Structure 1
Amino acid sequence: AAGSDVARVEAAVARRGEDPQPGLSALGALAVETPDLDVYAEIPLSWGLLAGLDTVAAQRADGLRIAPKFRVGGLASELFPTPVELAAVICACRDRNLPFKLAAGLRHALRHTDPETGFTHHGFLNVLVASAAASDGGEVAEVAEALAATHPVPLVEPARSRRTEPRPLWVGFGAFNVLEPLTELIRLGLINGGYE
């Protein structure tokens, strides 16, 4: 099988306010039984998060292919972490050497408020620059500053300067389609729209 045919499982380990440890144990057991499987444990951004990250770090130290995944949006305002809250999570992953994925709410490159719902969404370009800042040793305030930016100026050049480097920490995000995110990156001058 080609490298792109990697088997992957993404599963929620708990609801908000529930202990993520039993779910992490179950996913860890799955990772042990299926060593070629990439496992993403969706950990709620609530009580038990840091202990959950410690567990995932220990599982990875034991050789398991497991990493955390977080939802950063949804149908209620409390499902959208503030820039400081998300920055703290990114820095916590950095401190544990944990790559992570994000889900929900990352449709656009830049942080913006949805006019229909009034919810403020994180931008995927913000997350990329914030993850790079964290990887470079930035503290929560610096990482949060990148997440809070609503204008492209403080984000485009830091992203452009690292285009040829491996993406730090942040593995990726889910999207309903790639056309909209790709179009925004082309408009911001980060992708030329063709092949070189």
Structure 2
Amino acid sequence: MPHLLAGLVDDAAVFPPGSATLPDALAAHRRHRDSWYAELVGPLLVPASAVVSGALAGALGGPAGAAGGPAGPAAPGDDSAGGGLAVGLIGDTGVGGLPAALAALPAGVTARQVEVAVAKRGEDPLPGLTALLGLAGRSGGVAFYAELPLTFGLTGALDAVAAARADGAPVAAKFRTGGLAAELFPTPVELAAVICACRDRELPFKLTAGLHHAVRHRDPETGFTHHGFGNVLAAALAAADGAEVDEVAAVLAATDPVPLVERARAARAADRPLWVGYGSCSITEPLTDLIRLGLVNGGHDVRARHDVSAGQDVDGGRDA
């Protein structure tokens, strides 16, 4: 697995439209983490509500509601930290419900990251962001991602996150790149502006929703045009090299995979700049695209075909 792609895809199997049960998602995640492509896979993303309710503990085989408290932040790529499972908490409970979820983590489960929307579209993000920054400052080094709407107050929110990060808080940004309505899909120029704004602030970011395939495409069922995760990867590389918004937007708008692949191949041994990764209901779908584009060698291991197909029983084929 090229170093550039390490930890690119978080496992969001339990979220719509995949909506796997927690037991099925846990079983599939363990297979992914034991596969030849394990380095591609980030933590299993779990709703905070499933932790508080005891559903995660029950799926792990313990009594519902059994909790050992957070075992500490997990090292990147390490599911054995604390003797068990590294997860990413998705704050469906809101910022206010996160302390209870962190405290209710089952024994042996570590929170590698916490992701939560701090405001709805059109709302001022600063009150929710202020609450999240306060929590991040007392949570033992777990990485926090503030999901910011690409509307009112974005610049001020980015400034606040960047300032907190510069002061040592383990915080970064997260943005939505799709959904059930056309307005949830940012244009290439809008997304390019956000990427460049993060670059200018030395601020890592995550993305969620809409990144169904490697290359920009139109979904024939919905009519929505989706960003490609390969486009985003190439755009992040371009931005890190100093490209401005118009050039980054052109990379995001490209539908020819060749220049995207060439840029990624040239950086395959490098750290991935700016873009931390994204959550996907399917691990096999992005992996298949990467193999088809020649960015991952899927034929070098005799287990490859078996391992890829083994994850398809719960993968929904869509991003969270």
State if a TM-score over 0.5 links the two structures.
yes
Q: How many residues align?
A: 195
Deviation at 1:89, TM superposition (A): 0.3
Deviation at 1:7, TM superposition (A): 2.7
Q: Distance in 1 between matches of 2:273 and 2:153?
A: 25
1:168-196 C-alpha deviation (Å, 9 max, x unpaired) = 0000001001101001100000000146x
* Letter aligned with residue 67 of structure 1: A
Percent of aligned pairs with the same amino acid: 67
Report the secondary structure of 2:206's partner residue: strand
In the alignment, structure 1 residue 158 sits paired with structure 2 residue 282: no
Alignment of 1:1-196 (within 5 A): 3=75, 4=78, 5=86, 6-193=111-298, 194=300
* Letter aligned with residue 238 of structure 2: A
1:37-73 C-alpha deviation (Å, 9 max, x unpaired) = 1100000011111110000001101100000000000
Q: Which residue of 1 aligns with 2:105?
A: none
Q: Distance in 1 between matches of 2:273 and 2:114?
A: 21
Deviation at 1:116, TM superposition (A): 0.4
Moved over 6 A (4+): none
1:111-133 C-alpha deviation (Å, 9 max, x unpaired) = 00000000000000000000010
Deviation at 1:151, TM superposition (A): 1.4
Report the secondary structure of 2:137's partner residue: helix
Q: Distance in 2 between matches of 1:36 and 1:159?
A: 31
Q: Which residue of 1 aligns with 2:6?
A: none
Q: Distance in 2 between matches of 1:87 and 1:52?
A: 17
Give the structure-2-normalised TM-score.
0.60
1:96-155 C-alpha deviation (Å, 9 max, x unpaired) = 000000000001000000000000000000000000100110000110011001111121
Deviation at 1:27, TM superposition (A): 0.7
CA contact (8 A) 1:74 1:105 kept: yes
The unaligned stretches of length 5 or more in structure 1 are none
Bigger Cα Rg = 2
* Letter aligned with residue 141 of structure 2: D
Give the structure-1-normalised TM-score.
0.97
Output the aligned Cα RMSD: 1.1
Higher relative CO (Cα under 8 Å, sequence separation at least 6) belongs to 2
